Amino acid sequence: MTQAAALAMLCVGFSLPSQAQTCPVTGQWNVGDPFVGVGHGSYLHYTNCGTDSSPNYVLVETISISGFGSDPTAGCAWDSQLNLYVTDTKSGLVAELNGINPGQTGSSSHGVSQTLSTGVGTTSVMFDASGNLYVGLGGVAGSLTAPGLLKYTPTLPPDTPAGSFTYPTNPTTTFNTGINTDWIDLANDQKTLYFTGEGFVVQKEDLSTLAPSTTFSTSVLNQSFAVRLLPPFDGTGGVLLADTTNVVRLDSTGSTVKVYAFPNSTHLQALTLDPNGTSAWVADIKNGNLFRFNISTGTAEFTIATPGGSSPNGLCVRGGPELNVVPLVYQVGTNVSATASFGAPNTLNSHAWSATFDQILQKFVLVVTATEGIDLGRFTEYFPNQAGCGGGSGCIGTPASPATLTPIPYADQVDLAGTTNTQGKAVVYRAANEPVLNTQYSGGIFISTRYHLPALSNAGGFYTPPTCLVSATGVYTGNPRIFRDPASKPPEDAADNHSFAFDATTFSFNGDITIGGTKLNDYNAADRCPSHVGSSATFLSPLPKAKINLGSAVSLGLSVVDASGNPITDAVTAPNNITLSITDQNGVPERVFGVPGNSPNFFKITSNNKYKANLDTTGLEPGQTTLCVTSINTNFTDGIGTATGPGEFPPSCTIIILK
């Protein structure tokens, strides 16, 4: 049986920059930076040296790609590692530029990592949530290459230490052969494609059925070029379309609802969305101007005049919304939550990463990515004799047999054709940029992931959780935890190799504490054998779905027993503790109690070996509320390394109704 599962919790601090940096910083790629394909094998990179409300974009660098032709470089996109994929129409090449910034561990900054020969007419690229690369090709007079859509499925697990994807030389699947499919965008169901062939219509098709495309809109005024879906990215929010002399906003039916005009611009082709959630960008291939404009009002917020001779025909912004890249906008307030959702909504493939900040002091954008199928073999580096050995880069450390630590493969349980119970993939979430402590936020951060637990192999499914021993007998045990790559020593290459040094359910500190330059990045959900295999925690009070007056105090009672039914009496005795996390009816985290460094023990043990606490419901959201307890262990190697204990019992939850 498949069930929804949730994990929590982490409170971490961020380190402040050691000194103020000048702007721009050569070679530094930041969230919100636009990249513009301007021809002659080149892209221009700009950065904002002002603020989002008062922008000032300046040219950082010109990036030249060897092998690209003299025609306009075209569309571009970001993968889940925020590597940049760029295209060239004349040479028919797609090149990957390494997204690692100067000073980070890894290969040379922003060098070409791989190149695909996709054919003359290559115009645009994009990724779905599973890392599949789509390439849109238009027709070119005299070319032997047929227009259409190419799909490249990545080689899994990634075969580089940094976890970058590689793609086969030839496409995995070909769509729309002979049909101009120049500019493409894919809905969040991962299969509904919107595209233009630089004609006078916008097309729409279902890639899962291989059925011919249908006309989405004939409301375009002129030749149509780049098309981008608007939130919630399922088609209901409509699309933006670069329509030569204007940008046109179409609703879910394809009807025009707004037309945007820009000074002296009659050749608008490239278009993309900004990560700030309110702006979009468009470029004029003839006059070289690039406009950031407000989607609601149409007001031009900033204009970039590219250097003379530039022909901007491709445009993408680092951290802008993609199916595997989600920018989260945090507004000023208290207990502010935002969720990055991935996979097709309302299916077993849907999963999410959330972060709730105690206090937002200044608006910021946090970009979260999800990488499916990444090599997780290096759990053995930090969890020797517990984790098994994965593929890709292999094992570092001593693998366990059987493993007592297993990543949960919950992504891609259903294929595009709707086939269930396919072999799923583990996911790594990455927060790509850091808010600044005491400037943009203060206090702690509550991290959670949500996913659909895959069917177990002993029930005909594909997932085998760790085999944990009870009286020398192995039993499947689910004890989901969040593991976090530290991006701090040891070892030197931890962040790039996804070593997952911390069991994050046991690594928790206030936001005003920084340890070893800890960063908010790289999370994976895995099952880990608890120290008491076969143990369980049961809520004695309140009763399930008990109706509680909002603002009143609730008495919490908990029974914790081992496999034989005997009480576990040291669940709140150091180094053990019990945390309580609270989420509202929409799955949004609201509060967490019992985190080491955050508060004293929340639960106390009674004389009859039960655990009790009082919960003040003031400030919680009305409606269905989920209470979950997690056993944690607060010991760490050298204070910042691997959690030495896995917790005593698996998480347990109950539901109350606040009215």
Q: How does pLDDT run across 609-634, given as a tens digit for each residue? A: 999 999 999 988 899 998 988 888 76
More confident residue, 372 or 70: 372
For 566, residues 6+ apart whose C-beta sits below 8 A from its C-beta are none
Question: Mean pLDDT lowest for which of 138-147, 277-286, 400-409?
Answer: 138-147
280 sits in which H/E element: strand 279-284
Residues in the chain: 659
Q: Above 70 in pLDDT, residue 377?
A: no
Q: What is the pLDDT of residue 595?
A: 53
Range of weakest confidence among 58-62, 287-291, 504-508: 504-508
Exposure string over 422-451, b if 16+ CB within 10 A, otherwise e:
eebbbbbbbbbbbbebeebbebbbbbbbbb
The pair of three-digit structure tokens given for residue 18, joined into one six-digit string: 């050691």
Q: How far is CA 399 from CA 189, 357, 402, 464, in A?
A: 38, 37, 9, 17
d(CA 202, CA 607): 71
Question: Do 423 and 462 meet the contact criterion of CB atoms below 8 Å apart?
Answer: yes
Q: Summarize the confidence of residues 292-303 as an average pLDDT.
A: 97
Give 3-state DSSP helix, strand, coil % of the chain, rounded to 5. 5, 40, 55
C-beta atoms surrounding 43 within 10 Å: 25
- pLDDT greater than 60 at residue 44: yes
Top pLDDT among 2 and 81 is at: 81
Nearest-angstrom CA–CA distance, 346 and 304: 41
Structure confidence at residue 4 (pLDDT):
40
Assess whether pLDDT exceeds 50 at residue 169: yes
pLDDT band at 394 (very low <50, low <70, confident <90, very high): low
| Higher per-residue confidence, 480 vs 95 | 95
The token duo for 406 is 């297993």
* Percent of the chain residues topping a pLDDT of 70: 83
| First CA to last CA distance, the chain | 32
Most confident of 11-15, 279-283, 579-583: 279-283
Query: pLDDT confidence of 272, banded at 50, 70, 90?
Result: very high
534-659, which class in CATH? mainly beta
Give me the pLDDT at residue 419, please.
82
The mean-pLDDT minimum among 413-422, 467-476, 502-511 falls in: 502-511
Residue 47 pLDDT > 80: yes
Q: Please check whether residue 522 is in contact with residue 429, taking contact to mean a CB–CB distance below 8 angstroms.
A: yes
pLDDT at 390: 58
Predicted pLDDT of residue 598: 43
- Cβ atoms < 10 Å from Cβ of 309: 9
Confidence of residue 518 (pLDDT cuts 50, 70, 90): very low
Q: Which residues contact 462 (CB under 8 A, 6 or more apart)?
A: 409, 421, 422, 423, 424, 454, 455
- Please compute the mean of the pLDDT values over residues 161-174 and round it to a whole number: 80
Q: Determine phi and psi for 605, rounding to 5 degrees.
A: -90, 145
Whether the pLDDT of residue 319 is over 90: the answer is yes
Handedness of CA 642, 648, 651, 653 (dihedral sign): negative
Residue 391 confidence (pLDDT) above 60: no
Give the mean model confidence (pLDDT) for residues 176-183: 93
Q: What is the pLDDT of residue 597?
A: 42
Q: pLDDT tens-digit profile of 529-564?
A: 898 999 999 999 999 999 999 999 999 999 999 999
Q: What is the predicted pLDDT for the residue at 378?
A: 64
pLDDT of 510: 29
Across the chain, mean pLDDT equals 83
Residue whose C-alpha is closest to residue 646's, from 381, 385, 355, 374: 385
Position 509 scores a pLDDT of: 30
Q: What's the CA gap between 148 and 139, in Å, rounded?
A: 8
- Amino acid 50 reads G
More confident residue, 429 or 492: 429
pLDDT at 417: 79
Lowest mean pLDDT: which of 172-186, 385-399, 442-456? 385-399
Residue range 293-322: average pLDDT?
A: 95
Which of 333-342, 494-503, 573-582, 648-657 bottoms out in mean pLDDT, i.e. has the lowest?
Answer: 494-503
Average pLDDT for 144-154: 88
Q: Output the CA–CA distances (angstroms, integers) from residue 395 to 293, 392, 497, 502, in the order listed.
A: 49, 9, 11, 17
**pLDDT > 90? residue 185:** yes
User: pLDDT > 90: what percent of the chain?
Assistant: 49
**HSE-CB for 383 with a 13 A CA cutoff:** 32
Please give the pLDDT value at position 405: 84
**Do 409 and 435 touch, CB atoms closer than 8 A?**
no
Structure tokens at 585: 């009816």
The mean per-residue pLDDT over the stretch 164-176 comes to 90
Is the confidence at residue 482, as pLDDT, over 70? yes
Q: What is the mean pLDDT of residues 320-330?
A: 96
Lowest mean per-residue pLDDT among 178-192, 277-291, 341-355, 590-604: 590-604
Distance, CA of 424 to CA of 565 (rounded, Å):
35
pLDDT on residue 40: 87
Q: What is the mean pLDDT of residues 272-292?
A: 97
Write down the pLDDT at residue 67: 85
pLDDT band at 448 (very low <50, low <70, confident <90, very high): confident
pLDDT of residue 192: 95
Domain positions in the chain are 1-31+324-529, 534-659
Looking at residue 547, its pLDDT comes to: 96
Pick the residue with more confidence: 579 or 377? 579
Q: 234: how many CB neighbours lie within 10 A of its CB? A: 16
pTM value?
A: 0.89
Query: What is the pLDDT averaged over residues 243-256?
Result: 96
pLDDT for 497 beyond 70: no
pLDDT per position as a tens digit, 409-421:
899 998 887 888 7
Q: Are strands 546-548 and 652-658 parallel, antiparallel or unpaired?
A: parallel
